[in-house]
Amino acid sequence: MTTTSQESGNEQSTEGHLSFRPGPGDRQPAAYARRRRSFEVAIAFVAPISFFALWQIASTSGWLDERFFPAPTTVWSTAVELVRTGELQESLAISTRRALIGLAFGVVSGCAMGILLGLSPLWRAALEPFLSACYTVPKLALLPLLLLIFGIGEAPKIVLIAITVFFFVWIATMEAVMSMPESYREAGRSLGAGPWQAMRHIVIPAILPQIFVSIRLSAGVSILVIVGAEFVQGGDGIGYLIWHSWSLLRAEAMYVGIVAVALLGFVLGEVVKWVGRLLMPWAPRDAGRAVM
């Protein structure tokens, strides 16, 4: 045997026997884990740094057409400029507001529908087939219809996000309610919980972890949807900034917009995680990460 693994120590073959001894990870587990962790953090930076370095070189040396692929340094100075004029913050604020309002409506209606259908076989029989069929309709394709119904203000975009989010949250909530152990509800009833008390003390906390997973997914989706909607309709928001910059051949501003959207999605996801940890102190940290 010639294999040596850092985790499990050395294995040496002596006359037909294998001997196992502690490796560095076994002798000083804490220090080893710490070193290992710093190493993992360090290599996580390697990929993005090499990516941007290569891009910079390719762009400045002329391998890439600078009109479409401006160097990261150019993009950075454009970003500084857009922040100075306030254009970037304003666009981000407008889009964030739309996304959050739509998200809120979608989450509340999705939870309500999920709990109703999860608890009541009758309502499930009545509505689930119809809603499942609606789930697969591409929601962005509804935008013209929503514009017709709601006019051209904020409403159609917010409704579009709410509809999209509704389905994510509805499905997750309904499944969570249905997979809730029967003994939870029986324990509540045997302690004298009425329907509303059972909702507050048992059903909602029991399904909260799954609801939060679906909200995290929905937060990302609502950003995608709002950017898509602003591409095709209206004259403001971060989606408009991206699309408009592109059509004006201001590629550097487009890249600023794209990066800003990515950051916005990341921040929103972290906020949802943080709120989830506040509301669910009993859950292990980062519950739901595995599901994502």
Partner 1 sequence: MRSGNAVEARAVERVFHSRKRDIHALGPVDLDVRDGEFVCVVGPSGCGKSTLLRMIAGLVTPSAGELRVRVKDGRPDAAMVFQDYSIFPWKTVLANIRLGLDLAKVERREADRLARSWAAKTGLSDFLDAYPASLSGGMRQRVAIARALAPNPQILLMDEPFAALDAQLRQVLQDELLEVWQADGRRTVVLVTHSLEEAALLGDRILVMSNRPGRLLADQEVPFERPRRPELRATPEFVAFREQLWHLLRDEVRSA
Which residue ranges make up the site for partner 1 (CB under 8 A)? 181, 183-184, 186-187, 189-194, 197, 201-202, 205-206, 208, 280-282, 284
We find the least distance from the C-beta atom of residue 178 to partner 1, in angstroms, to be 17
We find the least distance from the C-beta atom of residue 121 to partner 1, in angstroms, to be 13
4 vs 197, beta carbon nearer partner 1: 197
17 vs 285, beta carbon nearer partner 1: 285
CA 250/CA 244 separation, integer angstroms: 8
Residue 172 parent element (H or E) = helix 155-178
Six-digit token pair at 244? 């408009």
We find the least distance from the C-beta atom of residue 37 to partner 1, in angstroms, to be 24
We find the least distance from the C-beta atom of residue 188 to partner 1, in angstroms, to be 8
Q: Note whether 71 and 55 are within 8 A (CB).
A: yes
We find the least distance from the C-beta atom of residue 110 to partner 1, in angstroms, to be 21
259 vs 280, beta carbon nearer partner 1: 280
Instruction: Name residue 4's beta-bridge partners.
Output: 10
12 vs 197, beta carbon nearer partner 1: 197
23 vs 205, beta carbon nearer partner 1: 205
Order across the sheet with 9-14: list the strands: 4-5, 9-14, 17-20
